[in-house]
Chains A and B, each alone.
Chain A
Amino acid sequence: MLRVLLLTLSVVAIADAELCKPDAQNAFKVRLSIKTALGDNAYAWDANEEYLFKAMVAFAMRKYSSKSTTQISNVLVCNVTDRVSFWFVVTDSSKNGTTVPGSQVEAAIRMYRNRINSAFLLSDKTLQFLKITSTLSPPVEPSTPVWLIVFGVVLCLIVVGIVFLIVGGIQKRKKKNKASTERENLEEKGEVTVTVENGIPCEALDLKAGHINGVFAADDERFTSL
């Protein structure tokens, strides 16, 4: 009994080694860059992380095709290096000794890439499936280009400044014109204007201007008699 068990196990192991090896059919190489992604919080890659990886691949296969009956034991991982990189292949549970076509595996992984990435706290660049290209996310474009908004603000400020200066200039010129026309008018009416000196119209004073000061001369009583 024991011998039969050992025999079947060794057959399975050899069969596995046949199915999972570098550049095998339907096998994919995976490369992780944990230290680059996480720095000081990097975890070590050990058998438990491998188990999680197998579980995630099985999860993706099962979700991709509802008919799929992939078990964790169907996912074979081999050639783990220090890099960390390894090859994996998914065996078909219904037919012994065959692997699931690569296109199916690829499609499944592509569909649930996000989930697989987040399970390992990595991204498309740090968890690389070497034959599976990732679809690029489109760049975020706001509805109005930002530069138009800034540009509009700048232009409004400038237009306000120009209008302000032009209106100011026109007003200044109007004031200057008014002041100069007033001066002109005063000069024209020179003969008709009443010249006023100290609040007393000149004609009211004695015509002997300069000889007798009519203002003082008019009031004799002010002086005390000698």
Chain B
Amino acid sequence: LSVPPEIPKEDGRPKWDNKFQYILSCIGFAVGLGNVWRFPYLCQIHGGGAFLIPYFIALLFEGIPLLHLELALGQCLRKGSIGAWNTISPYLGGVGVGSWMVSVLVSLYYNTVLTWVMWYFVNSFQEPLPWSVCPLNENRTGLNEECYESTAVNYFWYRKTLNITPDVTESGTLQWWLILCLATCWAIVYLCTIRGIETTGKAIYVTALFPYLVLTIFLIHGLSLPGATDGLAYLFTPNLSTLKNPRVWLDAATQIFFSLSLAFGGLIAFSSYNPPKNDCEKDAVTIAIVNSLTSLYASIPVFSVLGFKATTGYWDCLDRNIISIINEFDLPEESIMRQNYTAWISFLNSSYPQKIAGLQLKSCDLQEFLDQSVSGTGLAFIIFTQAIILMPGSQAWAILFFIMLFSLGLSSMFGNIEGVFTPLLELQIISKSIPKELLSGIICLICFLIALCFTLGSGSYWIDIFDSYAGSVPLLVIAFFEVIGVAYVYKIKRFNKDVKWMTGRKPNLYWQITWRFISPLLLLIVFVAFVTLQIQKSPSYAAWNPKYEGFPMKEEKVYPPWVLAICVLLAVLPCVFVPLVALFHLIKRMHRSKDSSFVPPEVFSCQGANG
């Protein structure tokens, strides 16, 4: 008799084909777009190499303990986030629901970012690249005004891709090209998650490993570009005085936390498909270290390319000045080169100061160009695309770059969707006869329909809101309750016994101290500092308004009250489940305690379920 591959072990649960698939899925989930476009930016603004110090301290005391906790939890309890927390204690069930809620919210907007990546990818097959030239205006007398005043790259991003409205309250219309790309992205996610880990396990081999290949190619090419060494020196030169600023430590802690994708419930879901006797301690350390090393590895090509772009910008500035001077003084061509520019300028300034002043030459400073630091979508879609135009063979580089970004985001989406999918499969409300394909199809369809809001003209403003409010504070709260829940409600002694049963050795002193004291304390401090900082700066956003007098600078606008209410709702909604569910069970227990037939629930133990 040939056994169909999905027939699982004793408890009817699907499992990974091999350990490598599991590790790769966790790494793919942790390594995402933030490793490429947020970590290098933080390194740059927080004193280069010096930032690595708070980063590794945060990794040691916050990242690795929390990661080990989540992996051990999922592996022991063999359930998704909602089921797992319900099992630990019914009062902590809200933590699971909160995780699930955050996974849903993040899945919605994360895939829209992938939509933008896909749009750029399909546009990279053109010659010349559409973001390299400005289109003509209506009567063909000159270039399009909005494009001319900003740059062609900005124009393509803000007008041709987003078709952005000048204000978050103006919704604009649905952009049909974005809807097409969004449908494609959700179709790809459906294709890969159609049967849960059975299909994502195969897809992850490509989506998790391909970015490393492309990063290596970019590394080799980037280091060969002129100006790369300037960029790298700028990135890595340590400036230890920045460590006195507490903002740096806060950014390091939050970066580690969000980069490892903790508190989403996705890691718990992944490890719940493991065989119970698996060394989760080694897995956690491996995944955390690979994630941090990937961030470092990715920052090298990013900064080589940024150095190249800054150098090219600096040379362009110099060349424009040189041309103006040559034309004005009718000097022969190539008499002033970049090398003797400063000598000539000082000579001419002393002899013909009025003429030089009349030229209105821009001061060209390489440092100024290097200082233009951007993170997030600006880095990928504006700065990097501009740098790619300057490279020979730009189509190939653009295609490679956007496929890499897509793979990075897709492997993170697998974790998000798994964090949504696995708890739903275990809830009693879904009957067993519904095939997995149908359930994942329904989830993807509902998410696609809701995410259509992000394809409106004001969509990118809403994505910023979701990213800042739904994808930040609730995670800190949930992680805090996770650690407290395991350490003090489940009791750390029981947890030690469970981990010893799974890995074969008792967790050593490092884990004891971090789980019991350091990690909860650190999370509390980070949470308080984070919320304080958020409250202090008034919630404003930068709008792209062509009619603004300071255009092409962005216009600073304040969120209207109803948008602020939505921000608060997004931040509070996942967190509110924690006390709500606890309260619900408390009330139920009080009712039951009046009832004499009350039987206390069985005490759960890792070994009991599987031994």
Contact = CB atoms under 8 A, between A and B. Distances in A.
A155 B140 contact: no
Nearest to B5: A172
Contacts of B125: 146-147, 150
A84 to B, nearest CB: 8
B326 interface: yes
Contacts of B140: 135-136, 138
Centre residue among B136, B184, B188, B333 by max chain A CB count within 10 A = B333
Contacts, number: 77
Given A136-B136, A146-B126, A172-B4, A165 B331 contact: no
A82 interface: yes
Given A147-B123, A150-B122, A158-B188, A169 B435 contact: yes
Contacts of A154: 118, 122, 184
Nearest to A36: B333
B348 interface: no
Contacts of A161: 191
Interface residues of B, number: 35
Contacts of A81: 330
Contacts of B122: 147, 150-151, 154
Contacts of A175: 4
Interface in A68-103: 81-85
A82 B332 contact: yes
B437 A165 contact: yes
Given A136-B142, A165-B437, A82 B330 contact: yes
Given A147-B123, A150-B122, A172-B4, A162 B331 contact: no
A31 B435 contact: no
Per DSSP, chain A at the interface is helix
A5 interface: no
B136 A34 contact: no
Contacts of B123: 146-147
A172 B565 CA distance: 49
A123 to B, nearest CB: 15
A173 interface: yes
Interface residues on A, range: 20 to 34
A173 B435 CA distance: 9
A33 B333 CA distance: 7
A139 interface: yes
Interface string A126-160: 00000000011011000000110011001100110
Given A146-B126, A158-B188, A169 B437 contact: yes
A176 B4 contact: yes
Nearest to A45: B332
Given A162-B191, A165-B194, A82 B181 contact: no
Given A146-B125, A147-B123, A176-B4, A162 B187 contact: yes
A173 B136 CA distance: 58
A136 B121 CA distance: 29
B199 A165 contact: yes
Nearest to A34: B333
Centre residue among B118, B122, B184 by max chain A CB count within 10 A = B122
Contacts of B136: 136, 138-139
A146 B399 CA distance: 14
Interface string B401-426: 00000000000000000000000000
B326 A83 contact: yes
B110 to A, nearest CB: 19
Nearest to A133: B141
B527 to A, nearest CB: 41
A134 to B, nearest CB: 11
B190 A162 contact: yes
Contacts of B135: 139
B435 A158 contact: no
A85 B331 CA distance: 10
Contact of B184 (A83, A84, A151): A151
B381 to A, nearest CB: 15
A165 B133 contact: no
Contact of A147 (B126, B199, B331, B435): B126
A6 interface: no
Interface in B320-368: 326-327, 330-334
B554 interface: no
Given A147-B122, A158-B187, A166-B194, A139 B133 contact: yes
A35 interface: yes
A165 B190 CA distance: 11
A155 B186 CA distance: 11
Interface in A33-61: 33-36
B506 interface: no
Contacts of A158: 184, 187-188, 191
Contacts of A34: 333
Nearest to A37: B333
A139 B130 CA distance: 11
Nearest to A151: B122
Interface in B565-601: none
A178 to B, nearest CB: 12
Contact of B191 (A84, A165, A169): A165
B53 interface: no
A28 B341 CA distance: 30
A139 B326 CA distance: 31
A81 B135 CA distance: 36
Given A151-B122, A151-B180, 9 more contacts: A83-B332, A83-B333, A85-B330, A154-B184, A158-B187, A161-B191, A162-B187, A172-B6, A173-B435
8 pairs of A and B residues whose beta carbons are closest in the complex: A81-B330, A82-B332, A147-B122, A83-B330, A35-B333, A150-B122, A146-B126, A151-B122
10 contacts: A35-B333, A82-B331, A83-B333, A84-B333, A136-B143, A139-B135, A139-B136, A146-B126, A162-B194, A166-B437
Interface of B: 4, 6, 118-119, 121-123, 125-126, 133, 135-136, 140-143, 180-181, 184, 187-188, 190-191, 194-195, 199, 326-327, 330-334, 435, 437
